[in-house]
Structure 1
Amino acid sequence: MEKRPRSFYVLATFFALFLLFLYGPTITIAILSFQGPQGGLTFPMRGTSFHWFGELFEQQAVGDIWGSFSRSLVLGLMVMTTTVVVSVMGGSAFRKKFPGSSVIFYLIITSLVIPSILVSLGVGLIFSQSGLPVHWSTSGFGAQLTWTLPFGLLIMFAVFNRFDKSYEEAARDQGASAWQTVRHVVLPIIAPMLIGVALFGFTLSYDEFARTLLTAGSYNTLPLEIYGMTTNVTTPVIFALGTLTTAFSFGVIAVFLLIVLLMKKRQTRHGSDAGQGLV
C-alpha cells in the first residue's frame, strides 16, 4: 500500500480542526442541555437527565417559545413558497435578454451585500411611514425575501443557463402547448433544483435574526425569542431549546434530501421502464 504524504495528514488535521470549530459550539450546547435538575449553564455537569427538555413543555415564566416557533414555521413556509415561485419565474424570464436585464441582475446581487440591519430598518420605516402594520407576516415577510430571493434567483439562473432547450422543442413538436411544456417537461427536469431553492428559502427564513429584528412588530419569531431569553433565562432550558431547534433544522434538511433521492429514484425507474418499452 502506497504511503500517504505528510501533506495529507497536515490537511486532514486542519480539516478536523475546522469541523471542531464549526460544530463545537453546537455540540457543547447539546451536551449541556442534558444537565441534571440542579445543573447550570457551564461545566462541570451536575448529573444527566431530560429534565430541561421537559421544562420546555411546561408553562414558561418568561418567553413564548411555542408561539414564536409557530410564527417562524409559518413565516418560513411563506418565504419558501414565494422564493420558489418567483425564482422559477425570474429564471425563465432571464433566459432571453431584455432591456435593463443587466441592471436588474446587479440590483438583485446588491441586496446580498447591504447590511442586514439596514434592510430591517428600511423595511420597517417604509411600513410604519406608509401607515401599514409592522408585523412578522407583512414587513417581516418582505424583509426576509430580500435575503432569500437573490439566492433562489442565482440558483435558477445557473440551472436555466445549462438547460437543454431540445427537450422543450421536442415537446412542442409533439403538439404540447407552452403550459404543458413547462408542466410536463421543464418542471420535472428542474425539480431537484427547486427542492434546493425551497430548502434555502425555508432554512434562511427560519433562523434569520437581523432582517426580522425591526420588522417583526410586537410578536417575536423564534430567533428573536431565543435572543430575548439570553438576557433573563439562567437555566439549561435555553440549551434544550437550542438543541431541539437544531435537531428540527437537521430534520428539515433530511426530509428535503429524502425527497430528492425519491425523485431521482422515480426518474431512474421511469427511464428504465421507457427503455424496456422501446425494446
Structure 2
Amino acid sequence: MEPRSRSFWLLTAFFALFLLFLYGPTITIGILSFQGEGGGLTFPMRGVSLYWFRDLFEEQAVGDIWGSFSRSLILGLMVMVTTIVVSVMGGLAFRKRFAGSAVLFYLIITALVIPSILISLGVGLLFSQSGLTVHWSTSGFGAQLTWTLPFGLLIMFAVFNRFDKSYEEAARDLGATPWQTIRHVVLPIIAPSLIGVALFGFTLSYDEFARTLLTAGSYNTLPLEIYGMTTNVTSPVLYALGTLTTVFSLIIIAVFLCIALLSNRRKAKAANDAGKGMI
C-alpha cells in the first residue's frame, strides 16, 4: 500500500479544523450544560452534574420554555405538510411550460435572497395593516413558508426533471386515471425525495428566528424564547436547553433518514419481486 501524500494529510487537517469550527460551539454548550450546581456560564467547570437539566423541567422565573417548544413543534409540522403539498403540486405544474412560468420561477427563488428580517417586517406589516391578528400560526406560518417553499420546489424541480415518464404512460395504458397514476405510480417513486422535503421544511421552520421575529405576535416560538432568555437568564440552564433542543433535532433527522432508508429498501424489494414475476 502506497504511503499517503503530504497533500492528503494537509487536506485532512484542514477538514478536521473545519469540522471543529462547525461543531465546536455546539460541543462546548453540551459540555457546559453538565456544570455542577454552583457552576457558571464559562470554563473551568465547577463540578459535573445533571442539576441544570432537572432545573429546566421546573417552573422558570423567566420565560415559557415548554409552551414555546410546543408552538415551534406545531408550527414546524404545519410548515412541513404545506411545503410537501405545495412543492409536489408546483413540481407537477412546472413539468410543462405555461405562460409566465419563467417569471414565476424567478419570483420563487427571489425569496431566498431577500434579507429575512425584511420579509418578517413586510409580512408583519401586511397582517397588521389588513386588520388581521399577528400570530405565530398565521403571519409566522406565512413568513416561514417564504423560506421553506423555495427549497422544496427546487428539490421537486430536480426530481421531476429526471423522472421517467414511461412509468406514467404505462399506467395510463393499463387504464389508470390521472389521479390513480399520481397516487400509485408517481408518489411512491418520489417518496424518498418527499422525505427530504419534509426534513427541510420541519428543520428550517423549527430553528427559524429572523422571519419569525416580527410575525410571532405575543407568543414566542422556541428560538425567540431562547433569544429572550439570553438577556435575563444567566445560568447554565440555557446550555441545558440548547443541548436538549440539539438532541431533539438530531433525533428528528435520524427518524427521517430511517424512513428514507426503509422506503428505499421497500422500493428495491418491490422491484426485485416484479422482476422475478416477469421471469
Assess same fold via TM > 0.5.
Answer: yes
CA distance in 2: counterparts of 1:273 and 1:105, whole angstroms: 40
Matched, 1:42 2:42: yes
CA distance in 2: counterparts of 1:184 and 1:165, whole angstroms: 14
CA distance in 2: counterparts of 1:242 and 1:278, whole angstroms: 54
Q: How does 1:215-226 map to 2 (within 5 A)?
A: 215-226=215-226
Instruction: Among all aligned residue pairs of Structure 1 and Structure 2, give the percentage whose two residues are the same amino acid.
Output: 81
Deviation of the 1:42 alpha carbon: 0.3
Cross-structure match for 2:111: 111
Deviation of the 1:276 alpha carbon: 2.4
The residue type equivalent to 1:238 in the other structure is: L
CA distance in 1: counterparts of 2:194 and 2:256, whole angstroms: 10
Q: How does 1:22-41 map to 2 (within 5 A)?
A: 22-41=22-41
The residue type equivalent to 1:41 in the other structure is: L
Deviation of the 1:178 alpha carbon: 0.3
CA distance in 2: counterparts of 1:108 and 1:237, whole angstroms: 40
Cross-structure match for 1:236: 236
Q: How does 1:46-85 map to 2 (within 5 A)?
A: 46-85=46-85
Deviation of the 1:8 alpha carbon: 0.4
Deviation of the 1:105 alpha carbon: 0.4
TM (norm. structure 2) is 0.99
TM (norm. structure 1) is 0.99
The residue type equivalent to 1:271 in the other structure is: A
CA distance in 2: counterparts of 1:122 and 1:160, whole angstroms: 33
Q: Which runs of 5+ in 2 are unaligned?
A: none
Superimposed CA distance per residue, residues 55-91 of structure 1 (whole angstroms, 9 cap, x where no aligned partner):
1110110010000000000000000000000000000
The residue type equivalent to 1:133 in the other structure is: T
Cross-structure match for 1:123: 123
Q: How does 1:74-223 map to 2 (within 5 A)?
A: 74-223=74-223
CA distance in 1: counterparts of 2:113 and 2:264, whole angstroms: 35
SS in 2 for 1:185: helix
CA distance in 2: counterparts of 1:193 and 1:271, whole angstroms: 18
Cross-structure match for 1:254: 254
Query: When the two structures are aligned, how many residues end up with a matched partner?
Result: 279
The residue type equivalent to 1:190 in the other structure is: I
Deviation of the 1:255 alpha carbon: 0.1
Cross-structure match for 1:245: 245
Using the TM superposition, name which of 189-198 and 264-273 deviates more: 264-273
The residue type equivalent to 2:204 in the other structure is: L
SS in 1 for 2:2: coil
Superimposed CA distance per residue, residues 128-170 of structure 1 (whole angstroms, 9 cap, x where no aligned partner):
0000000000000000000000000011011101101000001
